[in-house]
């Protein structure tokens, strides 16, 4: 059974930084893609950043240059470093994972966003950015 456990959320002022972590367990596939999604008040869940099974990242335009996705494969931890945070980044942030063979788009973030019903999800961690 796949388990994804996020941590690292909190409240910061605009311009501040946070690093989210997602500890992964129970994944049996040898080729896995992972990503971060968020859902703000009144908004649909949207993809933020994803990392392909070969390590290549993909970012939403709204976070390019501010967020960095990375992973520690040996410890099975996914990270999201968030810098220069803005009030519009306020949301619940979710970690997600899926076997690579289920993603049919070259852009991994778009690919994972298109099959959200097939992803394994964490419980989320809240990020609140005040102006």
Q: What is the pLDDT along the chain (131 residues), one digit of tens a residue?
A: 899 999 999 999 999 999 999 999 998 888 999 999 999 999 999 999 999 999 999 999 999 999 999 999 888 999 999 999 999 999 999 999 999 999 999 999 999 999 999 999 999 999 999 99
**In sequence order, which residues have a C-beta less than 8 Å from that of residue 92 and are 6 or more positions away?**
38, 39, 40, 124, 125, 126, 127
Task: Identify the residue whose tokens are 């992973």.
Answer: 71
Q: Is the separation of the CB atoms in 111 and 62 below 8 Å?
A: no
Per the structure block, which two tokens stand in for 16?
């501040």
Q: Is the separation of the CB atoms in 97 and 34 below 8 Å?
A: yes
What residues form DSSP beta bridges with 50? 35, 58
Q: Provide the 3-class DSSP secondary structure of residue 32.
A: strand
Rounded CA separation 14/9 (Å):
14
Per the structure block, which two tokens stand in for 84?
């220069």
Per the structure block, which two tokens stand in for 108?
């991994």
């Amino acid at each position: 059974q796949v388990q994804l456990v996020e941590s690292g959320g909190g409240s910061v002022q605009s311009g501040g930084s946070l690093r989210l972590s997602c500890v992964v367990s129970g994944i049996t596939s040898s080729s896995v893609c992972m990503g971060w999604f968020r859902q703000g008040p009144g908004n649909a869940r949207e993809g933020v950043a994803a990392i392909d099974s070969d390590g290549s990242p993909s970012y939403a335009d709204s976070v390019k240059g501010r967020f960095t996705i990375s992973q520690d494969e040996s410890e099975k931890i996914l990270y999201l470093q968030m810098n220069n945070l803005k009030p519009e980044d306020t949301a619940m942030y979710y970690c997600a994972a899926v076997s690579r063979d289920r993603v049919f788009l070259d852009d991994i973030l778009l690919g994972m966003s298109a099959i959200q019903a097939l992803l394994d999800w964490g419980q989320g961690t809240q990020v609140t950015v005040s102006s």
